[in-house]
């Protein structure tokens, strides 16, 4: 099933949509956070009638298991350029709550200034392909295509770089076109940055994820970089940059995650 199909929603009533967490989009039997965020954004674009999630914040309430979902939305404001809406995903209990601003990024215009260079990386064919196994990487990796920067892929063999950073390339399988909702998936598709830190590592559950969409991506691989500066108080942040195949910054993200205990 395509990413678009796996994140589809259908309207059942005013402000309410049906969806389904598809099997295979999981990490340790729990649905990937970016995948859940994309389902919420699909409902948000439908409720507001705006094609793009401009800024969206998600709070993760409980693990998402494969099966049917109800997505309850509320349009809080609908202006000339932007609409603001909430969306809550629920299975047998609430899974995810979001608040987002929706609009049309094709209408965006204004001055250009970028004080950061595009991340330098080898071509995708020279990077490390991530493929799922029975244990690690998880099944989710079979639904997308990832190529990790060779300098950031050593954690898989115990050779950590020592720098909490993960860089690489992302695209959907079978050359499926990317829209602005698919960019949300890219913000939460890579291994955690802590895997490369000189610290005890395990999976880092996400408390909150915010994504900003700047443009719809051009066809081709997305160049992605995620970094962490602060690991303190039992938390870490991951700041993400996503650049498209023609060198445009198309999305940014910040995630707050729990550091594993012990």
β-pairing, 94-103 with 144-148?
unpaired
Of the candidates 19, 190, 32, the one whose C-alpha atom is nearest the C-alpha of residue 89 is 19
pLDDT value at residue 203: 73
Give the mean pLDDT of 3-18: 97
- Supply 238's token pair: 């991951």
pLDDT for 58: 98
For the stretch 124-159, pLDDT in tens is: 999 999 987 766 677 888 899 999 999 999 887 788
**Range name among 120-124, 148-152, 201-205, 235-239 with the lowest pLDDT average:** 201-205
**pLDDT at res. 135:** 63
- Per-residue pLDDT at 202 exceeds 80: no
């Amino acid at each position: 099933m395509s990413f678009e199909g796996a994140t589809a929603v259908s309207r059942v009533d005013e402000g309410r949509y049906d969806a389904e967490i598809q099997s295979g989009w999981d990490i340790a039997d729990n649905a990937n956070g970016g995948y859940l965020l994309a389902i919420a954004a699909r409902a948000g674009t439908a409720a507001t009638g705006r094609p793009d999630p401009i800024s969206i914040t998600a709070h993760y309430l409980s693990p998402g298991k494969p099966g049917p979902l109800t997505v309850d939305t509320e349009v809080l404001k609908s202006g000339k350029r932007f609409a603001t809406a909430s969306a809550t995903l629920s299975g047998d209990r609430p899974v995810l709550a979001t608040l987002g601003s929706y609009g049309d990024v094709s209408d965006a215009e204004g001055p250009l200034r970028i004080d950061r260079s595009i991340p330098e990386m080898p071509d995708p064919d020279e990077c490390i392909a991530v493929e799922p196994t029975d244990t690690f990487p998880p099944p989710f990796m079979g639904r997308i295509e990832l190529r990790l920067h060779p300098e950031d892929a050593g954690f898989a063999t115990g050779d950590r770089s020592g720098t909490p950073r993960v860089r690489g390339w992302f695209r959907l399988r079978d050359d499926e076109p990317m829209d602005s909702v698919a960019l949300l998936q890219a913000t939460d598709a890579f291994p955690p940055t802590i895997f490369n830190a000189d610290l005890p590592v395990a999976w880092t559950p996400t408390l909150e994820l915010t994504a900003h969409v700047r443009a719809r991506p051009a066809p081709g691989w997305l160049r992605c970089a995620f970094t962490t500066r602060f690991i303190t108080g039992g938390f870490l942040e991951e700041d993400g940059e996503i650049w498209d195949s023609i060198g445009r910054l198309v999305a940014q993200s910040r995630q707050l995650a729990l550091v594993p205990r012990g």
